[in-house]
Amino acid sequence: MSTEDELRILFLCEQKLLFPINPQIGERPNSRCLFVSSLVWKALNPPYESEKDGIRMGRTLAMLDNFVEGRRISVRLPPSKKVDAYIALLDKADEEIWEIRVRDPRPGVRIFGRFACLNVFIGLLPVYREDLTDSKAIKPKEAEDKLWNQAKLRCRSEWEKLFPLVAPHTGKIPHDYISNNIFIV
């Protein structure tokens, strides 16, 4: 990330369009950086629509702490479909849209986002897993694909609002995105 991009992030934080996530507990220095959009920030913080949403966001905060504390996390790149990845690059890989996956309690939560540079993730869109399925659809699989694509489009649109004309960070292997303490699934 260039100095110009760093300044852009600082500016967005000043403007309250982007929010840094720091560990909830302790003084452990941030090994990785995580910033979230106002959409994610709003979802993470009270008030919640229901107690259930509060529980899901409590869990989500703990999972986000894992990232910024530099904890050991599992990374998935296509074509892997392993369900237990902490963070996954979604198909198609060249779209550079990732999800942080919070699977408990079910249905889980996904934080869609993109890497701004190595070890710097921008969480752009909170997605409730139940909003990515349509069990009543005649063709559920097709309906689900459509919902996923719509969510990816919204994620991309959030990125373009915050970082117009800036391409997301790209890579070929997980270590191109996160340098330390990862394992590949």
Partner 1 sequence: MTISQITSLLSELSSVSQENLEPRILAYFQERFRNRLYELVIEEFEKQQRENGLTQRELAQRINKSVSRVNKWLRTPGNWTLDTVSDLLIGISKSELKISSKEITPPSLNFIGWSGLYVWESSPEPEDLINLLHEENTATKLEGTSWKAHENSLIKLEFTNERHGKNKIDVNN
Cα–Cα distances (Å) from 150 to 22, 131, 147, 154, in that order, read: 29, 11, 5, 6
Q: Is 62 in the site for partner 1 (CB under 8 A)?
A: yes
Residue 117's nearest CA partner among 155, 77, 166, 79 is 166
Piece in contact with partner 1 (CB under 8 A), picked from 15-23, 113-121, 126-134, 169-177: 15-23
What residues pair up with 110 in beta bridges, in sequence order? 101, 127
Piece in contact with partner 1 (CB under 8 A), picked from 65-73, 88-96, 112-120, 148-156: 65-73
Piece in contact with partner 1 (CB under 8 A), picked from 21-29, 91-99, 135-143, 159-167: 21-29
Distance separating alpha carbons of residues 179 and 3, to the nearest angstrom: 20
- Name the amino acid, one letter, at 56: R
- For 51, the token pair is 């107690």
Distance separating alpha carbons of residues 80 and 184, to the nearest angstrom: 10
Q: Is 58 in the site for partner 1 (CB under 8 A)?
A: yes
Give, as ranges, the residues between 95 and 114 that touch partner 1 (CB under 8 A): 103-104
- For 81, the token pair is 């479909």
- What lies within 8 Å, CB to CB, of 117 at 6+ separation is 1, 5, 169
Q: Is 38 in the site for partner 1 (CB under 8 A)?
A: no
Q: Is 66 in the site for partner 1 (CB under 8 A)?
A: yes
Piece in contact with partner 1 (CB under 8 A), picked from 71-79, 90-98, 111-119, 136-144: 71-79
Nearer to partner 1, 74 or 133 (CB): 74
Q: Is 129 in the site for partner 1 (CB under 8 A)?
A: no
Binding residues for partner 1, rule: CB under 8 A, are 10, 13, 19-29, 44-46, 48, 51, 54-59, 61-63, 65-66, 71-72, 74, 82, 84, 86, 103-104, 183, 185
